[in-house]
Structure 1
Amino acid sequence: MAATNKIDVSEFDIDENKGFLSPELPLQKLPNEYYSNWETVATNIPQLLLTSQMKRTVDERFPLLKIDQLQTLPELKRAYVLLTFITNAYVWCTNPPNEVIPDNLAEPLLQVCEELELPPTATYSSVVLWNYNVVDSSQPLNLENLSSGLTFTGSFDEAWFYLISVYFEKIGSQCIKYGLRAVESINHGDNVSFLENMKLLASSIDRLTEILKRMDEKCDPYVFYFRIRPFLAGSKNMAKAGLPHGIRYGTNGEYQQWSGGSNAQSSLVQYLDLLLGVTHFSDGGKEHYPRKLITNESQFKKNSYLLNMRQYMPAPHRHFLEYVDQVTNIRQYVLSQGTDSCERLAYDTCISILKNFRDVHLGIIKKYILIPARAERMNETNVKRQGLANSKSSNVNGHVGTGGTSLVKFLTQCRDETSDMAVTKWVQEYLKRDEGAASEHTNLEMNFIFDYNYDFIGFKDKTSNIHLTEDEESGDVDFFIHHW
């Protein structure tokens, strides 16, 4: 790969401290009163759904407005949030769902989407990236200082569900920073800097995992499954839910099929994969494309679903992922190092923690979708359902997510393909054993190691020559594998 100077991430609408979140706080209201009706309907979605007035309000009391008075990018983003929330609420407010979006909503929605190069449905951008505020602007942006914008249900649970992802993206800014610095270190031949930035990258990925674990603090799985999830659904692969042809945008429009809001639309997760050279195969996974038969990268048939999800990301973020794909050289670099080198172990630390992140994500899917779905099939709940929640699946492995894909199969494949990327033998053995495969090394132990400030340092096992040393000055355990 060609060397690169320090990249200015702001060129890609990325903030150094907030990552893929809007560099400025999202608008909480369009300043032009001309759009007051959009604001009123969108902010009252929970009440309109509760009183079964959503469809009638849009059909009868929603004026057709032009978008030429949206003068700035933040205003376009706010309009996109408003119109996509209204659209998803309109589609899923009845049973069966409404498959035709009226002209007064469809026309401005399609125009805004054309300006932003985004699809006309609720996306990760709608519900997360451009849909939050801070409680106290004088305080740091953290989970306890965040408030959600629009919701479908007006519930605490829905707000928390979105805010976990907002904070996830904020912490992800560290992954962006340290990952790009690791690439720069390789280009400048600075091995010490490379190891330090890989350590910091591993710590940052680990923090993402800890954020995910907080989901159930304030978001009940059954509330999510039966009340929130249906309104996040798209129109792709939704025949069983009542949309055999997708959605028609306008009385004279053509049917379109789009995936719904999904964490797969987070640029951060795809960034980590690209950065570390984690390749995801097309449908069928490694069973159809055995890695041992692949001799060069061009033979990979990459996962079409993940590539498709990029069109749901803001255009500057898509361009950033394309850039990272071109300049990343981390995996190539560590493979050029010695078999038991510090560089390889530094890389495998990141791979192991990214795999652990995907394990936690799978656990959340089980808790928030598979268990409630099983209760539904066993008639253990009398909850009245709408939209997607009416589509029952007898096979948990085939359960379809809001993004329109089989959840467990897809996420398990992504997790296993992450494990496959480990380059150190004992780490490979550990990760294989962790996935249920037999291991020759029955005495292998793997522990995540933290210093006294709870900063991630690395991992060790009891059979190899990997150890921690103390900093003589501070007493902190802050070195790993000889000098790290």
Structure 2
Amino acid sequence: MAVSSFPGDLESFLSSHHLSPTSGFLPSPSPDVSFKNFEFNIWLFTAKSIPKLLWNYPGEFRKQVDALPLLLFTESRDDLPQWRLAYCALSYIAQAYVWGAAVGRPTDEDEAYDEKVLDYIPASIAVPLRHVAFHLGIQPGLTYSAVCTWNWQRKFPLLSSTTQERASNLEPIFSFTGTPEEAHYVITHVMLEFAGGQALRLALEASKATGEKNGDSLEGALRGLTEAVTKSKQELSLVKQDLDPDVFYSRVKPYLNGLGATNIHPKGVFLRSSSQDPTKGEWIKLSGASASQTSLLPTFDTLLGVTHSEEPCYTYDERMRLAMPQCHVQFLDALTCLPRVKDYVSVNKTNQQLLEAYNNAVIALEDYRDRHFTVIGKPLWTSQDSFD
């Protein structure tokens, strides 16, 4: 249930959930790209070898993974950048191990070891992946966080804190194919999250103004939110730009599939828990990496009071929450206790300027969501929440 006041200042509220007032759900500062403990760099080396070994030397990648020692991640539990780096590296290795070099290649009975799709992950990867994922409160497999949110680095440092982020200065830390198409897909989503960071801050400012019953501040925040969401939509339009569909859908997209989410894995994928006994472990079915796992859309819905009339859409969003980091899910839960913009606007409908600002924000969000699902799938949402 929403409350009438906002809990403290915005920066403190965001930082308590490991969010940034400038970059939103993206890490600030940027993600770690190496391990402090040199012992774990073997995961880094293995993950970064995926594009070269899978495509140029079939059979070598899985042999390299099979030879890995079973290590348990031991960094400080508060050092989130290190845990996120471990999660990304292990997720990429696990996904590449399962799918191998079968993606984009014809199959035959004489195919090499790396050209077969497997239904298990060896203990050397499965055990630490399970451990790291549990600590982060996220599923032990590839997610939007592993592919986009935590998987980027700058080619050159920013000149100052006010320097604008540019896609040309960003690149993925890990890749399955090493293709420009995969890098473009990752970085355009990172830029989308950067644009969404400003919209997130404005949506929270709107909630804060609601709690303070400050109509003028609320109107200003809503108008700013409309502009920020519109900018995010422009970033979203770049996702498919310069993206060769043949390369993306045949070589990149299959690696983003879940573990046990297709008919290829009817039982799921087996996470081995013992290097000595391959029968010990558990079967899992995971949804894979999807842009629907972004926390931006449910954030805007909650703060503006947008509801969904179609049950399938609600179920879809709830399923995506299972693949979000725990800190993001906790943030979304905390939002339900904040002042709701819609409640204030509904009792002040005679304020035409405020009403117009709210309706424009909802319409902008509707356009953004429709465009979002047009890019990643069919449209699933229509708004019934603007006021007449």
Is residue 422 from structure 1 mapped to residue 386 from structure 2 by the alignment? yes
The alignment status of 1:309 with 2:308, answered yes or no, reads no
| Structure possessing the higher radius of gyration over alpha carbons | 1
In 2, the alpha carbon distance for the partners of 1:422 and 1:222 equals 40
| Displacement after TM superposition at 1:420 (Å) | 1.7
User: 1:69, CA displacement in angstroms?
Assistant: 4.7
Q: Which consecutive residues of structure 2, in runs of 5 or more, have no partner in the other structure?
A: 103-114, 273-277
Residue identity matched to 2:265: L
Q: Which whole-Å CA distance do the structure 1 matches of 2:209 and 2:41 have between them? A: 51
My pick for the range that moved more, 170-179 or 92-101, is 92-101
Counterpart of 2:39 (choices 27, 34, 38) is 34
| Aligned mates of 1:123, 1:346 — CA distance in 2 | 35
**In structure 1, how many angstroms separate the alpha carbons of the residues matched to 2:260 and 2:344?**
40
The Cα shift of 1:360 comes to 2.4
In the alignment, residue 261 of structure 1 is paired with which amino acid? A
Aligned letter for 1:348? N
Deviation, structure 1 residue 195: 0.7
Match of 1:179 in 2: 203
What is the Cα deviation at residue 364 of structure 1? 2.5
Contact 1:151/1:159 (8 A) holds in 2 = yes
In the aligned structure 1, how far is the partner of 2:149 from the partner of 2:87? 12
Residue 61 of structure 2 corresponds to residue 43 of structure 1: no
Gaps of 5+ in 1: 286-302, 366-406, 425-484
- Offset of residue 281 of structure 1: 4.6
Q: State percent identity of aligned pairs.
A: 29
Q: CA contact under 8 A between 1:274 and 1:328: conserved in structure 2?
A: no
Instruction: Tell me the TM-score normalised to structure 1 length.
Output: 0.70
Deviation at 1:6, TM superposition (A): 2.6
Q: Which runs of 4+ in 1 moved over 3 A?
A: 281-285
Instruction: Give the length in aligned residue pairs.
Output: 357
The separation in 2 between residues aligned to 1:151 and 1:218, in whole angstroms, is 18
- 1:44-92 C-alpha deviation (Å, 9 max, x unpaired): 1001210223322222x22211212566321111100100000111111
1:330 corresponds, among 335, 338, 341, to 341
The Cα shift of 1:104 comes to: 1.1
Q: Which residue does the alignment assign to 1:18?
A: 23
Deviations, residues 153-199 of structure 1 (Å, cap 9, x unaligned): 00111111111111111111211211111111122121111111100
Q: Considering only aligned residues, what root-mean-square deviation do their CA atoms show, in Å?
A: 1.9
Cα deviation for residue 267 of structure 1 reads 0.9
1:26 touches 1:131 (CA, 8 Å); kept in 2? yes
Is 2:376 aligned against 1:413?
Answer: no
SS at match of 2:270: strand
What one-letter code is carried by the residue in structure 1 that aligns with 2:5? A
Contact 1:185 1:193 in 2 (8 A): yes
Question: What is the CA distance between 1:225 and its match in structure 2?
Answer: 1.1
Q: Distance in 1 between matches of 2:262 and 2:267?
A: 8
Structure 2 counterpart of 1:55, which letter? Answer: R
Query: Distance between the aligned counterparts of 2:198 and 2:41, measured in 1?
Result: 38
| Contact 2:75–2:82 (Cα < 8 Å) also in 1 | no
The counterpart of 2:193, out of the listed 145, 155, 169, is 169
2:308 matches 1:280: yes
**Cα displacement (A) at 1:328:** 3.7
132 and 360 in structure 1: CA distance in 2 versus 1, 3 angstrom threshold: same
Structure 2 residue matching 1:216: 3-state secondary structure = coil
1:305 to partner: Cα distance? 2.4
1:147 correspondence with 2:166: no
Question: Is the 8 Å Cα contact of residues 198 and 228 (structure 2) preserved in structure 1?
Answer: yes
Secondary structure of 1:254's counterpart equals: strand
Shift of 1:358: 2.6
Say which SS state the counterpart of residue 218 (structure 1) adopts.
Answer: coil
Decide which of 336, 361, 365 is 1:354's aligned counterpart: 365
Helix, strand or coil: the match of 1:13? coil
* Contact 1:143/1:167 (<8 A) preserved: yes
**Deviation readout 1:318-369 (Å, 9 max, x if unpaired):** 111111122141111122222672222111101111121133234434xxxx
Query: 1:6 maps to which residue?
Result: 9
Distance in 2 between residues matched to 1:421 and 1:221, nearest whole Å: 36
Residues 345-402 of structure 1 show CA distances to partners (whole Å, capped at 9, x for unaligned) of 111101111121133234434xxxxxxxxxxxxxxxxxxxxxxxxxxxxxxxxxxxxx
Which residue of 100, 103, 120 maps to 1:100?
Answer: 120
Aligned twin of 1:439: none
Distance 2:208 2:311 in 1: 34
CA distance in 2, matches of 1:268, 1:203: 15
Q: Distance in 2 between matches of 1:137 and 1:319?
A: 31
Contact 1:63–1:104 (Cα < 8 Å) also in 2:
yes
| Alignment deviations for residues 118-146 of structure 1 (CA, whole Å, 9 cap, x no partner) | 11111111111111111221333232321
Once the two structures are TM-superposed, the CA of residue 149 in structure 1 deviates from its matched residue by 1.1
- The alpha carbon displacement at 1:103 in A equals 1.1
Provide the rounded CA distance (Å) in 2 between the counterparts of 1:283 and 1:187.
30
For the structure 1 residues 96 and 273, does the alpha-carbon distance in structure 2 shift closer, same or farther, using more than 3 Å as the test?
Answer: farther
Distance 1:283 1:195, change over 3 A: closer
Confirm whether residue 191 of structure 1 aligns to residue 215 of structure 2. Answer: yes
**Residue in 1 that maps onto 2:105:** none
Conserved 8 A contact 1:20-1:173: yes
